[in-house]
Structure 1
Amino acid sequence: MENIEAGRPVTSRRPEKHVTPQVALEDRAAHPRLDKLTQRSSLSTTLLEGPILPTMMRLAIPTIVVLLAQTLVGVVETYYVGFLGTEALVGVALVFPFSMLMTMMSNGGIGGGVASAIARAKGAGRSDDLNALVMHALVLAVVFGLLFTAAALLGGPALYRTFGGSPEAHRAALQYSNYVFAASVPVWIVNLCSAALRGSGNVRLPAITTLTGSVLLIFLSPALIFGFGPIPRLGIAGAGMSIGLYYTIAGLVLVRHLLRGRSELHLRRSKIERRLFRDILRVGALASISTVQLNSMVIVVTAAVGHFGTTALAGYGMAARLDYALIPVLFGLGTSVLTMVGINSGAGNLARARRIAWTGVLTGGIFMETIGAFVAIFPRLWIGLFSKDPSVAETGAAYLHIVGPFYGAVGATFILGFAAQGAGRPKWPTLAGTLRLLIAGCVGWTLVAHFGANMYLLFAVTAFASVAAAVVCAAAAASGAIWKIER
C-alpha cells in the first residue's frame, strides 16, 4: 500500500515490532493475562485503521468530561473562599494566573511533548523507547516542578505586590500560593503521567483518577478551609492545602499504576538519553511558548480595554470568559487528535494522519463557529449570567458581536496546533501564535494607546488576529510542511 505525500510515493509501513501482538484464542486460554495484551493490540489497530471520527470522540469525551469537572471544582472552591472575605478572594485572584500557567504548561505544553513522543514511538513499534519515555517524563516532572516551587517561594512576595492590592490580600496570596506551589512536583507528575497515558491511547485511567479527585475536592476543600471535626480551621491556607493533597494522592495512584505495568506503558529504571529528552522538548518547549503567547495576548488586550474604563473592562472580562470556558472541549478534542496523528505518523501512515487532522479541524471548527454565531446573535444570554449592568452588557455584547463570528478560526488553529504536535512539528502553530500576539496585542494596544482607536476597532483587530493565525496553520498543513517524515 502506498500513500502519496509531497508529490512522491511514500511506503506505508506497519510497525516492525508490535508492542502487543494479536494472540490466538487457544493461547489466551492457556495464559489469561494475554487477554489484556489482545485488548491493547485491538486499541492499536483501531487507532491505525478504525473509523476516524468515532475513534476521535471515544478518546476526546473522557478528557472533556474531566476538564469540565475541574472547571466546576474551581468555581466551587472560589465560592468557598468567598466566605473568608474580599481580601481572600483577591489573594486567590493574584495567584490564579500563575497557577494556570503551570497547569497549561504541564498539560498542553510539556505534556503535549510527552504525549507526542509516546504516540510516535507507539506507532513506530519502538517498545523500548515507549517505556523509557515514561521515565524521562517523570524526570522532567520533578525538574519543572522544583523550578515552579522555587520561583513561587522566592519571587512570589515581590510579584504579588506588583499587582496592587492591600497588605492583607498579599498575605492571603502568599498563604495560598505557598501550599499550591509546594505541590508543584505532584502537579507536574500527574499531568505528565496523564499525558503519557493519553499519548498511548489510554484516556480512561487519567479520566477516572482526575474525576474521582475532583469530586473529593468538593468535600475536602471546605473541611480544611472551615474546619470539620478534628480538622482545624485553616482558612485560605486550607484551600491551597487541599489542592496539594489531591495532586499528591493522584500522583501516587498514577505512578503506582505505571510501576505495576498494567497498561501498555511500564515505568521502570532506564538509561537517561539526551535524544529522548530532545524528542519530548522539541515539541513541548514550543507548545509551552504557545500557551505563554495566548495568555500574554489576553493580558495585553485586557490592558488596552482598560483605557475605556472599569465597566468596559468588566464587560470584556465577562465576554472573554467564554473563550476560556470553551477550552476544555477544544483541549479534549485536540489531545485525541494529537494521539491519533502521532501514532499514525510514527507508523508512516501520513495520509491517514492528515485525514485525522482535517477531521478534527472540521469538528472543532463547526463546534466553535456554532457557539460563536449563537452568542454573536444573542450576546446578552451569556453576559446576563454575570451582570445586569447595561454598560457592562454593552461592552460584552460588542465583543461577542465582532469576535463571535470568527470563533471557528480559533477552533481550527487550536486543533491544528495539536495535530502539529502529534506529527512532531509544532513550529508553524507557534509562529501563528506569535503573529496573533503581534496583531491583537501590539497592534491593538498601539491603536488604542497612541492613536485613540475605540474598543470596536480593538475587537476587530483581535478577530483579524485569530483569522490570520488560522490561515498560517492551515497553509502549513495544506502544503505538507508539518507532515514530512524525519530521516
Structure 2
Amino acid sequence: MLKRDLTVGDEKQILISQTLPMLWGLIAVMSVTIVDTYYLGLLGTHALAAMGFVFPVVMFMNSLSFGIGVGASSVIARAIGSKQEDWVRNYSTQALVLALIVSLLFAMVGLLTVDPLFRLLGAPDDLLPYIHQYMDTWYWGCFLIVVPMVGNACLRAAGNTKIPSYTMTAIAVINLIIAPVLIFGLFGLPRLELQGAAIASIIAYFSAMVVTLYVLYVKLHFITLKALTSQIGQSWKDILHLAVPASGTNLISPISIAITTRLIATYGSEAVAGYSVASRIEMFGLMLVMALASTLAPFAGQNWGAQKIERLRRALRLSFVFVWGWGLAMAVLFWLAAVPLTQLFTQHEAAVQASVTYLHIVPITYGLLSTIMIVSSMANGIGQALPALVMTVSRLLVIYLPLAWLLAQQWGLNGIYIATAAANALVGFGAWYWSTHACNKREAAISVPA
C-alpha cells in the first residue's frame, strides 16, 4: 500500500502501524551516528571531541531540510485529506527543488567558513585539522542527505512509513559496512579516519536518495515534469509559509546546542566529548517518541483537512499517555545504566563523568520533553507552525540559555544540565495546554453554521 487514508479506522491501530516502521527507520539512521561515534572513539578523545563540535552544524543542515519536509508534509497531507491530487504533485515536486537549492547554498557558505565558524563555537586550534577532515568532505555531499529526508516527508504525508523505513535501514547497513573500511583503511584502502566517516555517510544517503526519488516519481507519481513548471509561486509560498517557521523552530535547537557546546568547552575537550556521547545516547532513548511524533504530523494533517477533530483529539490522548510512561522508563534506565552505556563509547574518566551527570539529571523530564515533541509535530501537521516556534523559543532561548549561564556560575556542568531539565518541564506543561485549546477552538469553528 503506497498511500493510506488516515481519516478512517481505529486511531490506536493506525498510530501503532505507522509508528513501528518509522521507529525501525529511525533506529537505523541514528545507528549511523552511534556507529560513527563508536569507531571515532577508537581514534581517541580528539576525534570524538571534534565530532562534538561538528554535531550542531550537521544538525543545522538537518533542521533546514526538516523544515522543508514539515512544510511539504503538512500541505501534502491536507491536500490528500481534501482530495486535491494536482496540488499533491505540485507540492511534492517543488519541495524537492527547494531542498536541493537550500542544501547547495548551505554547502557553498559552509566550505568558505569552516575555521571562523568552529572557532566561534569554541573549538581549539588543535581540533581544527580533525574538523576539516570531516566537514571538507561532508559539505560536498550534504545535498545527498537533504533530498531523501524531504522525499521521505512526502511519503509520510501519504500515510506511508514503510518505504522511508526501508530506505533508512539501507542507509544504516551501507554505513555499517563501509565506515570501518574507510575510517581504519581496511582491505588495503587508505586510512581516512574522520574523512572516511563522512564519505561513508554520503555514500549511504546517496542510495536512499535513489530509492526515494524512484518511488515518488515512478510508483506514486508525486513528482511530475509538469509540476516542475506548474503553480511554482503558490507551491513555494504554501510550503515556505510552514517551512520557514518550522526551520526556525529546528534551527534554534542546533544553535542552542552550539552555545551549550561553547559553555561546556570551558570545562575542557573531555567534557565536550562526554556531552557528545550523552546526546547520542539520549537520541536513542527518545527514538520511539520521535517516531510517534513523525507519525502524528500526517495523521493530524489529514484529519484536520477532513475536519475530523475528535479523531485527532483521541490520538493526542493516546500519545500523551504513552510518552509519559516511556519518559519515566527511560529516566530509570539511564539512571541505572549511565556508566556502562557511556563506556561503550569512551573510557576517559572526565568524559564518562560529564556524560553520566547529564544522564542522571535531564531524563527526569523526558515525559514533558516528549509532550513538546508531540504537540510541535501536531501543530506543524495542521499548518500552524508558529506555536511550535514559540514553544522552542521559550524552551531554549527564553528559559534554558539564561538559566544555563546563571546556574553554571554556581554549579558548573550540573547547572547547565539542571537548566535543560527545568526548561523541558515548564514548556512541556504549556504545550499540553495549547494542544487541548487548539482542538477545542477548531471543533467550535466547524460546528458554527456557514
Residue 243 of structure 1 corresponds to which residue in structure 2? 201
Output the amino acid matched with 2:404.
G
Q: Does 1:291 align with 2:250?
A: yes
Residue 30 of structure 1 corresponds to which residue in structure 2? none
Separation in 2, partners of 1:295, 1:229? 37
Separation in 1, partners of 2:179, 2:441? 46
Residue 445 of structure 1 corresponds to which residue in structure 2? 405
Q: 1:54 aligns with which of 4, 10, 13?
A: 13
**Would you say the 8 A contact 1:110–1:284 is kept in 2?**
yes
Residue 357 of structure 1 corresponds to which residue in structure 2? 316
Which has the larger share of helix? 2
Q: 1:472 aligns with which of 427, 430, 435?
A: 430
Output the amino acid matched with 2:402.
C
Q: 2:394 aligns with which of 435, 460, 479?
A: 435
**Would you say the 8 A contact 2:59–2:254 is kept in 1?**
no
**Would you say the 8 A contact 1:224–1:232 is kept in 2?**
yes
**Would you say the 8 A contact 1:420–1:482 is kept in 2?**
no
| 1:275-290 superposed matches below 5 A | 275-290=234-249
Residue 420 of structure 1 corresponds to which residue in structure 2? 379
**How far off its partner does 1:116 sit?**
1.4
Cα pair distance change 1:144/1:56, threshold 3 Å: same
Output the amino acid matched with 1:339.
P
Residue 74 of structure 1 corresponds to which residue in structure 2? 33
Cα pair distance change 1:478/1:92, threshold 3 Å: closer
Cα pair distance change 1:161/1:399, threshold 3 Å: closer
**How far off its partner does 1:155 sit?**
1.1
**How far off its partner does 1:179 sit?**
1.9
**How far off its partner does 1:272 sit?**
3.8
**Would you say the 8 A contact 2:64–2:250 is kept in 1?**
yes
Residue 372 of structure 1 corresponds to which residue in structure 2? 331
Q: 2:370 aligns with which of 411, 414, 417?
A: 411
Q: Secondary structure at the match of 1:252?
A: helix
Residue 106 of structure 2 corresponds to which residue in structure 1? 148
Taking structure 2 as the reference length, what is the TM-score of the superposition?
Answer: 0.85
Q: Secondary structure at the match of 2:7?
A: helix
Q: Does 1:177 align with 2:135?
A: yes
Greater CA deviation, 171-180 or 194-203? Answer: 171-180
Output the amino acid matched with 1:203.
T
Greater CA deviation, 218-227 or 284-293? Answer: 218-227
Separation in 2, partners of 1:383, 1:240? 23
Output the amino acid matched with 1:439.
I
Output the amino acid matched with 1:348.
Q
**Would you say the 8 A contact 2:171–2:204 is kept in 1?**
yes
Residue 269 of structure 1 corresponds to which residue in structure 2? 226
Separation in 1, partners of 2:288, 2:85? 31
**Would you say the 8 A contact 1:117–1:279 is kept in 2?**
yes
Residue 284 of structure 2 corresponds to which residue in structure 1? 325
**Would you say the 8 A contact 1:376–1:405 is kept in 2?**
no
Separation in 2, partners of 1:53, 1:317? 35
Q: Does 1:348 align with 2:307?
A: yes
Output the amino acid matched with 2:426.
A
Cα pair distance change 1:149/1:395, threshold 3 Å: closer
**Would you say the 8 A contact 1:341–1:357 is kept in 2?**
no
**Would you say the 8 A contact 1:137–1:192 is kept in 2?**
yes
| 1:19-418 superposed matches below 5 A | 39=1, 43-44=4-5, 47-81=6-40, 88-106=47-65, 108-162=66-120, 163-166=122-125, 169-227=127-185, 234-260=192-218, 262-263=219-220, 265-270=222-227, 271-301=230-260, 303-304=262-263, 319-376=278-335, 382=341, 399-418=358-377
Separation in 1, partners of 2:85, 2:266? 56
Q: Secondary structure at the match of 1:183?
A: helix
Cα pair distance change 1:393/1:360, threshold 3 Å: same
**Would you say the 8 A contact 1:197–1:265 is kept in 2?**
no
Greater CA deviation, 431-440 or 74-83? Answer: 74-83
Map Cα deviations across residues 446-466 of structure 1 (whole Å, 9 max, x no partner): 3444xx466656544432211
**How far off its partner does 1:63 sit?**
1.8
Output the amino acid matched with 2:21.
P
Q: Secondary structure at the match of 1:265?
A: coil
**How far off its partner does 1:423 sit?**
0.8
**Would you say the 8 A contact 1:84–1:236 is kept in 2?**
no
Separation in 2, partners of 1:427, 1:128? 27
**How far off its partner does 1:62 sit?**
1.4
Separation in 2, partners of 1:96, 1:313? 11
Cα pair distance change 1:277/1:241, threshold 3 Å: same
Taking structure 1 as the reference length, what is the TM-score of the superposition?
Answer: 0.79
Separation in 2, partners of 1:257, 1:335? 20
Unaligned runs of 5+ in 1: 1-38
**How far off its partner does 1:118 sit?**
1.3
Output the amino acid matched with 1:144.
V
Output the amino acid matched with 2:208.
A
**Would you say the 8 A contact 2:297–2:380 is kept in 1?**
yes
Separation in 1, partners of 2:45, 2:273? 17
Separation in 2, partners of 1:378, 1:256? 43
Separation in 2, partners of 1:387, 1:40? 43
Separation in 2, partners of 1:321, 1:186? 22
Cα pair distance change 1:109/1:362, threshold 3 Å: farther
Separation in 1, partners of 2:186, 2:355? 41
**Would you say the 8 A contact 1:183–1:247 is kept in 2?**
no
**How far off its partner does 1:278 sit?**
2.5
Q: Which has the higher contact order (CA 8 A, sep 6+)?
A: 2
Output the amino acid matched with 1:273.
I
Larger radius of gyration: 1
**Would you say the 8 A contact 1:341–1:422 is kept in 2?**
yes
**Would you say the 8 A contact 1:91–1:171 is kept in 2?**
no
Sequence identity of aligned pairs in percent?
A: 25
